[in-house]
Amino acid sequence: MLGTQAAERLPMPAPTPAPSATSRRRAGRPTAAVLDQDGITTAALQLISRKGYDGLTMAGLARSLGVAPSALYNHVSSKDDVLVLLEDHLAAMVDVSAFGVEPWDVAVRQWAWSYRDVFSEHTPLIPIIAVLPVANAPKTLAMYEAVTAGFREAGFPEERIISAIVALEAFVFGAAYDVTAPEDIFDAGNLADQVPNFTAAVDRLALEKHERPTDVAFSLGLEALISGFGTLRG
116 three-class SS = helix
In this chain, which of 4, 5, 6, 28 binds DNA, going by CB under 7 A?
28
CB atoms within 10 A of CB 133: 9
- CB 93, CB 115: distance < 8 Å: no
In this chain, which of 18, 68, 106, 130 binds DNA, going by CB under 7 A? 68
Task: Indicate the residue among 33 and 226 with the shorter CB distance to DNA.
Answer: 33
* Smallest distance from DNA to CB 90, Å: 19
**111 neighbors 99 (Cβ within 8 angstroms):** yes
In 3D space, the residue among 45, 124, 34 whose CA is nearest the CA of residue 89 turns out to be: 45
Q: In Å, how far from its chain's centre is CA 208?
A: 30
Binding mask 33-52 for DNA (x = CB under 7 A): xxxx----------------
Q: How far is the CB of 147 from a second copy (least distance, A)?
A: 8
In this chain, which stretch among 69-77, 92-100, 203-211, 216-224 interacts with DNA, using CB under 7 A? 69-77
103-112 burial, b for 16+ CB within 10 Å, e for fewer?
ebbebbbbbb
Name which of DNA, a second copy, none residue 193 binds, using a CB cut-off of 5 to 8 Å depending on partner kind.
none
Residues interacting with DNA, by CB under 7 A? Answer: 8-14, 26-36, 56-60, 62, 66-71, 73-75, 78-80
